[in-house]
Amino acid sequence: MPPIIDVNHLSKEYELGRSINRENLREFLMRKFKHPSRRESTARNSKKPRTFCALDDVSFEVAQGDVVGILGRNGAGKSTLLKIISKVTDPTKGSVTLRGRLGSLLEVGTGFHPELTGRENVYLNGAILGMSKAEIDACFDEIVAFSEIGKFLDIPVKRYSSGMYLRLAFAVAAHLNTEILIADEVLAVGDVAFQRKCLRKMSEVARQGRTVLFVSHNVAAVGDLCSRGIVLDAGRLAFDGTAKQAIQLYIGMMFNTQGTPSHVIDLRGALDRRSPQGKLLQGIELYTNHDEPLIQGIPLGARLKIRVHFNLPSSTSVFNVGLGFNNTVGQRVFTAHTAFEPDRDHAAAVGDQVMACEIPNLTLLPGDYVLRVWLDVGNTEADLIDSAARITVVESDFYGSGKLPTDGMFVLQHRWSLAS
Amino acid sequence: MPSSFEVTIRPHRGWQPIDVREIWLYRELLVFLIWRDIKIRYRQTVLGALWAVLQPLIAMVIFTFIFNRLAGVKSDGPPYPLFALAGLAPWTFFSTAVSQSSNSLVSNQQLVSKIYFPRVFIPLGSVGALLLDLGLSLVLLALLMFHYRWPVSLNLLWLPVFIVAAVLAASGVGLTLSAFNVSFRDVKYAVPFLIQMGIFVTPVIYPIRYIPGSWRILMGLNPMTGVVLGFRYAILGSPSPWPVMALSLAMSVVLFISGLLIFRRMERRFADII
């Protein structure tokens, strides 16, 4: 059977000089209607327009039923790839063959109009996504039930809370019944509960044997949903294989760009950030035994100390810092949080702050862990960075027997004896 | 849709044929977009759809006072208010349709850069939604004719032809200008000016016989000349200079087709530069 998506030597170039800084009508006419002889001479004199290659000779195939995660840093060409596949923009070279109806979600709620009611927007958005009126009628009740909008269905969506708006928008998109579904960062919106619900729906879609292309910075979601992973780097295909390997490569790329390794990590320019109350997290410092800077790997069972620098714009006593350790398939293996601290000082604070977290024995099994850092102010999320640091745990003789398990996630002190 | 559905995406250059099959596949969306435009146009206004009637009505009153009473412009038969409104109804449709459709792509950036469907629907939807307003102003005209006891003839059967011509002309100009507006926001400033000037080169205020005979045929190059003359011919039974009207009707068709082709040609860069 031929592949359902066949991407063939796909390239996309943007002309920097002309397309991005829009020329005005006079410049356009000058360029088009210049006397031929003069046009030639200017062409010879002027430099060729500078181009930016967003995608560079990318080829891959996707078989029916594959769920493919596309990873890459910002500007790697992920969105451009999805835009070409969904026909929003033309490629410069190469081709894509699709053997099935395609539904594309480059954004949740495309075409939603604030003045229209929830009901009206379901129909409008459905039609824009490519559903027929009959199809929308058929799953209208399901969409409404999924969105949990209930009695607000007939008021204009401009009066909705942002959560309600997103729930309704995602509900329509989730009922798009095409053979191929492509989604870009759809899950990067809404609260945690809503994200979880979206994720469940996505995995349901994946199990139905439909073909999904899924772009996200959320490696946990990719690890969870996808069987296959593609990594793009600077417009080129850097990896095509299992999702697990793709995630590992992507995490490696995320941290190899920050110059020489250091135990001090500046978070002010961090990617994958959600900052509803501003970029308050400033940086982290990592230390191991006897406050030695942690630069390379940390031995299994060693002490880990993490100092988190952040800023409180106004005086408050209600703020919390959390640290999450995720493994390379995106599972959370350990969460540390100031709320768990019984002897916490609850005095009000303002300005630059440092919270230090000490883990006497980091007993996670050897491997890479991605550290998520977040700050809550007034019991709501203020700033969150998905991949703040990578912590590599290396082998040590934790048990004193020279042996470590290959399965599981962590080690615990335990004893064995012959009981008889 | 058949499971053998297959589509290949590749670079496009130069002039492209119009993809009639795709437009047919998406036809429901055009209806939805027209419906959306109608729904939101007068939302949160006190007068609502009355605005559709008020604009030509007030223009008619002012034109009658200034041009008929003060300047002494005569109609070509019917009372001047009827004459003016029969011209203003299609002219208001055309000018509003052109100004809204030429802005439609830019004001629907999200639809252009985040999803694909035949993008001609965006300007065409703006034009289509205004047909309701045209209908309302025709109702107003009918009421006014009743008031003046002005008779209707079988000429009325011609009206659909001229409505179609008005839609084609407005769509043709709207498609072209909306495509240029993506790259050159100059269009935004040029359109109101062109519309203001347009009413003087279209026989809305004055009858066509005021134009010297040898120049009349040149008026036919303006597609709205034929539409305005046609509306008066069909509704009020005014005289009909057929050569001018025929040329005008042909211009509507030419403008529409060239608008579609220009739009298709420029369409592939919309998402990159909007």
Which residues 22-81 in chain B show a CB within 8 A of chain A? Answer: 26, 28-29, 32, 36, 39-40, 43-44
The verdict on a CB contact (< 8 Å) between B10 and A101 is no
The verdict on a CB contact (< 8 Å) between A110 and B29 is no
The verdict on a CB contact (< 8 Å) between A28 and B184 is yes
Distance of residue B268 Cα from the nearest chain A Cα, in angstroms: 6
Chain A interface with B: residues with Cβ < 8 Å:
14, 19, 22-25, 28, 83-101, 104, 106-107, 110-111, 113, 115-116, 120, 123-124, 127-130, 132-133, 179
Copy the structure tokens of residue A96: 């894509």
Identify the residue among A7, A86, A88 best suited for mutation to test binding to B, counting B beta carbons within 10 A and taking the highest. A88
**CATH for the stretch A264-394:** 2.70.50.60
Copy the structure tokens of residue B155: 């000429």
- Could you say which residues of chain B have pLDDT below 70? 1-4
Instruction: Write down the pLDDT at residue A19.
Output: 44
Identify the residue among B6, B9, B187 best suited for mutation to test binding to A, counting A beta carbons within 10 A and taking the highest. B9
| Beta strands A304-316 and A349-359, pairing class | antiparallel
The verdict on a CB contact (< 8 Å) between B271 and A101 is no
Q: Is B13 on the interface with A (CB under 8 A)?
A: no
Instruction: Write down the pLDDT at residue B261.
Output: 94
Q: Looking at beta carbons, which residues of chain A come within 8 Å of B29?
A: 127-128
Q: Looking at beta carbons, which residues of chain B come within 8 Å of A178?
A: none
Instruction: Write down the pLDDT at residue A130.
Output: 86
Distance, CA of B231 to CA of B166 (rounded, Å): 10
Q: Residues of CATH 3.40.50.300 domain(s) within chain A?
A: 5-101+178-253
Which residues 241-270 in chain B show a CB within 8 A of chain A? Answer: 268-269
Q: Is B195 on the interface with A (CB under 8 A)?
A: no
- Residue pair A101/A119 in contact (Cβ under 8 Å)? The answer is no
Nearest CA in chain B to A134: B28
Question: Tokens 């559709």 — which residue?
Answer: B52
Q: Looking at beta carbons, which residues of chain A come within 8 Å of B36?
A: 113, 116, 120, 124
CB pairs under 8 A between A and B: 106
The answer to whether the pTM exceeds 0.90 is no
Tell me the one-letter amino acid at B165.
A
The verdict on a CB contact (< 8 Å) between B271 and A88 is yes
Burial class (CB in 10 A: 0-12, 13-18, 19+), A382: buried
Which residues 156-185 in chain B show a CB within 8 A of chain A? Answer: 183-185
ipTM of model: 0.84
Q: Domain A5-101+178-253, what architecture?
A: 3-Layer(aba) Sandwich (3.40)
Within 10 Å of residue A352's Cβ, how many Cβ atoms?
10
Nearest CA in chain B to A120: B36
Q: Residues of CATH 2.70.50.60 domain(s) within chain A?
A: 264-394
Q: Looking at beta carbons, which residues of chain B come within 8 Å of A111?
A: 110-111, 115
Q: How far is CA A389 from the centre of its chain?
A: 15
Nearest to A19 among B115, B116, B273 (CB): B273
| Beta strands A180-184 and A102-105, pairing class | parallel
Nearest CA in chain B to A93: B11
- Could you say which residues of chain A have pLDDT below 70? 16-49, 186-192, 254-261
Bridge partners (DSSP) of residue A180 are A102, A211
